[in-house]
Amino acid sequence: MSWIVTNIWLIPAVPLAFSLLILFLSSSRRAAAAGAAIIGQIIALGFSILAFLPTLQAPGFRAVQSFTWFTFGDQALRLGWVLDPLAAAMLIMITLVGLCIFVFSVGYMAGDKNFTRFFAYLSFFSGAMLGVVIANSLLLLFVSWELVGLASYLLIGFWIDRPSAAAAAKKAFITTRIGDLGFFLGMLWLYHTSGTLLFYDNGNGALEPSGLLKIGSSATLVALLIFCGAVGKSGQFPLHVWLPDAMEGPTPVSALIHAATMVAAGVFLVARVYPLFSLGAVNGVTPSLMVVISIGVVTALMASLIALAQFDIKRILAYSTVSQLGLMMVSLGVGGVAAGIMHLLAHGFFKALLFLGAGSVIHGLHHEQDIRKMGGLRWIMPVTFLTYTIGMMNLSGVPFFFSGGWTKEEILHRTAEWPLSRLPHYLMLAGVILTALYMTRQMIYVFFGRKRETSDAHESPRVMTMPLIILAVCSIILAIVLTPAWPWLHAYLNGEPARLDFGALIQPMLFLSLLLVAAGIGLAWLMYRNAGETDPLARAQPGLFRFLGQKMWIDEFYEHTFIAFSRVVAHLSDFLDRYFWDGLVNLFSGMGQAFAVLSKGFDDHAINARVDNTTAGARRFGRLIAARHSGQIQAYLGAIAIGMLLLLVLYAWLA
């Protein structure tokens, strides 16, 4: 067992430490900041590869380190780290994709005045996500999870001088917080029933048979509460509203959020606590898994429909992420945990590629994001075009050379094998067509057709194109371990040995999905080839297009229900405070005043005359004291401190 397995905490600690280091640098040390962030990421990647190696040795490898955080009475709160195939694969993906994004940011953020702060936050983001992955305790996972939330808040609102960015950051934070509340309650309940928050603990962990036995029938509700957190973080319906708005952040941040960190956390969480979801499954179906499937299906279809009617290059990608996450949730729901995680890993690479490609386009067009103003970029930005095409093929699900195609294929297989109903399967097939359709639409708008307002566009510098090429190559290389002929990654995640079987390549499902992808791309080509200023869909179905373009009015719906409700409650409390409670207070003070007037009259005429002499003396003394009362509260505070010191001296002297 190599030393990294016992010191696995180093992997998140390194980026976090570098992030702190960068925060202390002055904002003029730009090269040092970027260098430190990238070196931190390279070290984390190196450690991840070292940690990956031992997991290859035996199928189903799992190394756990637990330690006691604090004891409280006879209860001990224990935290820990776990290294298993799931964590190891995620570590490699996060650090590698993160590294590419960091390098890309050097070019993309070159002109920004808060360059160093940006890299500090990026490093922090990556470190927090790595913490989520290797946590062996739900509490530790929750802590890292919240750190991820904080980092996303800081990065989405990175351009704080834009009101829209500040609003988007707040929206992301608050929306995910709603889900996290459920997660937190689920965690408390889990601790209540099982008495431990450790996942694996030599047979006593919450996810091991004896722990699951204790949880018993409350597993469904615990799982659903934890799923609330995943819904918030992974942008599932109905909490998906923050994810497209998160596009207000710089593009590398969008890439990081949508590919390697943040949204991946939700899917990862469900995969991590999967035994809670599948506990007591009859035929592979439990109530909590049914909910996961329903949410996933609704999210996937809704998001791909909305993506059809968007004109912002990043917004289209954002909705594609939402829909792909829905697809992963469906996969987890029907029991294909390995398939869902495989799609998550492949998605990490190609979605980072697509976002960075979009960033390269935006950079080349001087921060233009409207695809209607692009066009004909394929000769101007050849590297971006080629890599973007590879990303688009991955996302659309073209098999053979593209990892995304194989993993999507695997998920479709899983949905087809679901015993209860074929409905999710058919809906996911529709999702495949839609995905191919909107991605081709975007390609045609951006890279084909005539040049619209792109006269002074230019290809991005090498520091930005290199990460694109690396990610494109990775997403193709990854396909090798994903084919049905040699499903190495699938076997690795499931903890079984992989075997070579070329017969598995020939199957009807493959032809079906190939046909659907081709249909989607072909349809899009026919529809959008000669698209002018107005979208063909908008011309054919203006009402529907407006409905989709306005994101199904979900934001407006929330605005007029939940937000309006809390506003009313706030106004009501304000009103109560102002008039009811203040009125009571005023009543009492009025009574006091009336009494005071009475007693003043008595005082003035009956007592004062005698006392005046005495008061003159008191007044002189009072002035003396009042001179000390400067009104400076810190002078008072200082007097208190000195008084306390004198008391201490007195005490010491007497004792």
Q: Residues interacting with other proteins, by CB under 8 A?
A: 70, 72-74, 622, 625-634, 637-638, 641
Cα distance between residue 632 and residue 641, in whole Å:
15
- C-alpha distances in angstroms, 338 versus 267, 331, 342, 474? 11, 9, 6, 19
Torsion, Cα of 411, 510, 353, 51 (10° steps): 60
Pairing relationship of beta strands 63-72 and 75-83 according to DSSP bridges? antiparallel
Closest separation in Å from C-beta 638 to other proteins: 5
Closest separation in Å from C-beta 640 to other proteins: 10
Closest separation in Å from C-beta 637 to other proteins: 6
For other proteins, give the closer residue by CB, 76 or 477: 76
Closest separation in Å from C-beta 636 to other proteins: 8
Closest separation in Å from C-beta 75 to other proteins: 9
Closest separation in Å from C-beta 628 to other proteins: 8
Cα distance between residue 484 and residue 480, in whole Å:
10
Of 513, 479, 485, 312, the C-alpha closest to 409 is 513
Closest separation in Å from C-beta 650 to other proteins: 19
238 upstream amide cis, omega within 30 of 0: yes
Closest separation in Å from C-beta 634 to other proteins: 6
Copy the structure tokens of residue 464: 């930005």
Closest separation in Å from C-beta 177 to other proteins: 18
For other proteins, give the closer residue by CB, 24 or 70: 70
Closest separation in Å from C-beta 78 to other proteins: 16
Torsion, Cα of 171, 175, 180, 186 (10° steps): 170
Closest separation in Å from C-beta 382 to other proteins: 54
Cα distance between residue 390 and residue 386, in whole Å:
6
Cβ neighbors of 583 (< 8 A, separation 6 or more) are none
For other proteins, give the closer residue by CB, 458 or 629: 629
Q: Do the Cβ atoms of 198 and 140 come closer than 8 Å? A: no
Counts for the chain of helices (H) and strands (E), in that order: 29, 2
For other proteins, give the closer residue by CB, 75 or 608: 75
Number of neighbours of residue 533 by Cβ within 10 angstroms? 7
For other proteins, give the closer residue by CB, 366 or 628: 628
Q: Do the Cβ atoms of 41 and 123 come closer than 8 Å? A: yes
- C-alpha distances in angstroms, 173 versus 155, 157, 303, 626? 11, 10, 21, 50
- What's the alpha-carbon Rg for the chain, to the nearest Å? 30
Of 303, 230, 296, the C-alpha closest to 264 is 230
Copy the structure tokens of residue 97: 């994709």
Closest separation in Å from C-beta 630 to other proteins: 6
DSSP 468-524: HHHHHHHHHHGGGGTSTTS-HHHHHHHTS-----GGGG--HHHHHHHHHHHHHHHHH
Of 387, 424, 131, 132, the C-alpha closest to 265 is 132
For other proteins, give the closer residue by CB, 639 or 650: 639
For other proteins, give the closer residue by CB, 597 or 627: 627
CA atoms within 13 A on the CB side of 202: 2
